[in-house]
Amino acid sequence: MVGRNDPCPCGSGKKYKKCCALKQEQSIDSIAENEIDGLVDGYFRSVFQTPDMISEFENYKRVWSKSLADVEKPDSWENVVFETYIFLEREDLWNRYLMKMLNGPIHTRTRKMLGGWQEPILVLARLTEISDDLVSMEQVLEHGTYEFRMKPEMNLRTGGYVFGFALPDERVVERGVEFISGFDYVWSEDGQLTEEAEALAEASGLSDSREFYRKHAVDLYKIVLKWASVPVSARLSPEQREACDLLLKELGAIEADTMTLEFAEGIYVSYYVAKAPNVRKHEGVAAAVFLLLNEMLMLDDVYFTQADIAKMFGVSVSSMKKHMNPLYELLDEIEQTSGQATPAFAYYVGTLPRVTERANWEMYCMAERQAFETLEEAQQFFGAHMNEPFIPQTAQEKAQALCYDAYEKVGEHVKVRELARKAQALDPGNVDATLLLAHTEESFAKAERHMKKAIQLGETTFDPTVDNTWFLVTNRPYLRALLTYGVELYEEGIYEEASEYFGKLLEINPDDNQGVCNIAIANYLKSGELSRAKKLLDAYDPVEESDPVHSFLLWRYEYMKANEAWTPKVEKLYQDALGKNPYVETLQQEDLPKLGYPRSLDVEPGSIDEAMYIWSLI
């Protein structure tokens, strides 16, 4: 056995402890790091093992969605809900998973780290110090301090706030943490976010911080999102704002156009937010932005010397020019960011009315009561009455209003049936009133008669003469009835009849505003009609190449066409689809039960929700 002070066997002439022993320690560190990263990923994959768990999470997410309805949600909000659920709401699952791992064959260093992971940390902290390597922060409510590694892509400022889940990680520094999936960063002037969070905690009456976080995580996140929506320009100090106003005044004096003014203000504010310059006289920054515009020839036919601009803002040329390189760097960064793919927007899947439909219907009713001669008259009318409550006047309007009330109660059978019957009494020909009764039945056989009757009623009121049948809001109950019946037939395995209804929908609404094409393709695949499935795949090939649903359906078609053989083409299509939504593979590997077609769901591309939707189709 080689001692640590013995000559290294590799022949380097160094002591073993200063040569190959170091490489061995690095290898051990690498093994431990890979184990640690893999453990968290393994937990993510292990959570949703039963339909009950999936349903419980969906209900939990629905509560969050309602609570956050009046704030703008970022693309990452779904990850926040997911982590809050699996690390806080169902902390028992996490601890059970940790115990299983601790009792398994893992490295000693990994085992030591897992010992401190029983309570993942919900971080809502204010940044107190930032260096090239580390960020120090203080928890808003518990006042504990932590540090995490600073990364080049992080644009952070002392005084800003971060929100996210983290695990203790003292591999770099004592009191160190590692964020599990990143964090939200916001700026709140003068610590106002702290005051709002403390007021929430005090009003809750809860002394146990863990219990408070469990009950009010969504409320804390809402506070964070509220500050995230504050305009960037509001982050300027009074002195910075005064210099910015001077910049805009001087640009206005030479009659700069609106685009130039907006660009100038945007660059000025972004410079302070992104670069956080240490500035004594902010007029130097304003002068530098003016010089930037001058050099970019954005001031039309007017041109100024550097001395002219410095004099205009009351600064020296040197104090102005020192900001020029950072400003050009900022422009490059903005250009690179704008060249990246834009985030995908959520799309709707479901058989129930979308949240905007009722407002559209109310506007339609109001317009029908008026006799507008010009578009300007209509715009003036709606501008003046936009905030007034809509009051149904006719029996038909009152019946439809009751139906919209009932759709908000779907799942509460007694209440829905009561509202639907009242609507029928007012307007026996109301399509939604009859369709709603189908939602209250426990069996397909009983629901079917209501759905068929709703379709018959809809055929008498449907207007096919408009350019897009979906945009006429009074057509939607009929289109909804066709889709609902088609989906129910599909889920009952009555594929041939389902295809008739999906085909009819695509015929009368070829723009497919209801997203029928995906379930229609799935229906053809399940009935073995591959040629008809391929025809729809080609006809509704999305403009966006990043459509995960279409990618998985195309893979499924090629897989079936190859007699379920894993050919190179099938493998390539599958990997391409996984790149757009990797969660589908987890559902396949675990062979989880498939949920029914969504009743009402806003789906973000690449999300767990979308994976479950795809899983129901393939």
**Separation of alpha carbons 121 and 144, rounded Å:** 11
**Separation of alpha carbons 423 and 569, rounded Å:** 54
Q: Are 204 and 216 in contact (CB under 8 A)?
A: yes
Q: Read off φ and ψ for residue 2, nearest 5 degrees.
A: -85, 125
Is residue 165 included in any domain, yes or no?
A: yes
Is residue 52 included in any domain, yes or no?
A: yes
Enumerate the β-bridge partners of residue 163: 124, 184
Residue 495's domain is classified under what CATH number? 1.25.40
Last residue of a domain, one of 338, 355, 380: 338
Q: Are 490 and 519 in contact (CB under 8 A)?
A: yes
In this prediction, residue 587 carries a pLDDT of 78
SS3 545: coil
Is residue 22 included in any domain, yes or no?
A: no
Q: Read off φ and ψ for residue 601, nearest 5 degrees.
A: -155, 125
Report in angstroms the alpha-carbon separations of 337 from 342, 421, 464, 524: 9, 55, 45, 42
Report in angstroms the alpha-carbon separations of 91 from 119, 176, 213, 268, 508: 8, 21, 12, 45, 50
In this prediction, residue 23 carries a pLDDT of 43
Q: 9: exposed, middle or buried (C-beta count within 10 Å: 0-12, 13-18, 19+)?
A: exposed
Nearest to 435 by CA among 455, 408, 418: 455
Q: Phi/psi class of residue 311: alpha, beta or left (left: φ > 0; alpha: ψ in -120 to 50)?
A: alpha
Q: Dihedral angle at the C-alpha atoms of 280, 286, 292, 297, nearest 10 degrees?
A: -160
Same domain, 142 and 265: no
In this prediction, residue 342 carries a pLDDT of 42
Q: Are 140 and 161 in contact (CB under 8 A)?
A: yes
Q: For 303-367, give the DSSP string.
A: ---HHHHHHHHT--HHHHHTTHHHHHHHHHHHHHHHTSPPPPPPEEEESSPPTTHHHHHHHHHHH
Mean pLDDT estimate for the chain = 83
Same domain, 153 and 289: no
Instruction: Name residues of the chain where pLDDT drops below 70.
Output: 1-38, 49-51, 105-111, 153, 172, 189-190, 229-235, 300-301, 334-345, 372-380, 382-387, 543-546, 590-592
In this prediction, residue 431 carries a pLDDT of 95
Q: Are 358 and 404 in contact (CB under 8 A)?
A: yes
Report in angstroms the alpha-carbon separations of 200 from 140, 164, 226, 375: 12, 18, 14, 48
Same domain, 222 and 243: no
Last residue of a domain, one of 209, 230, 251: 230
Last residue of a domain, one of 230, 256, 274: 230
**Separation of alpha carbons 26 and 40, rounded Å:** 22
In this prediction, residue 457 carries a pLDDT of 95
In this prediction, residue 556 carries a pLDDT of 94
Same domain, 476 and 567: yes
Q: Give pLDDT tens digits for 308-360.
A: 899 999 999 888 989 988 888 888 776 665 444 444 557 888 999 987 788 88
Same domain, 237 and 174: no
Is residue 393 included in any domain, yes or no?
A: no
Task: Quote the number of domains for the chain.
Answer: 3
Is residue 399 included in any domain, yes or no?
A: no
Return the half-sphere exposure (C-beta side, CA atoms, 13 A cut-off) of residue 374. 3
Enumerate the β-bridge partners of residue 186: 161
Q: Give pLDDT tens digits for 394-419.
A: 999 999 999 999 998 888 899 999 99
**Separation of alpha carbons 74 and 76, rounded Å:** 5
Q: Which domain holds residue 493?
A: 462-617
Residue 268's domain is classified under what CATH number? 1.10.472.10
Is residue 544 included in any domain, yes or no?
A: yes
Q: Give pLDDT tens digits for 228-254.
A: 765 655 567 788 889 988 998 988 888
In this prediction, residue 373 carries a pLDDT of 67
**pTM of the predicted protein model:** 0.52
Is residue 199 included in any domain, yes or no?
A: yes
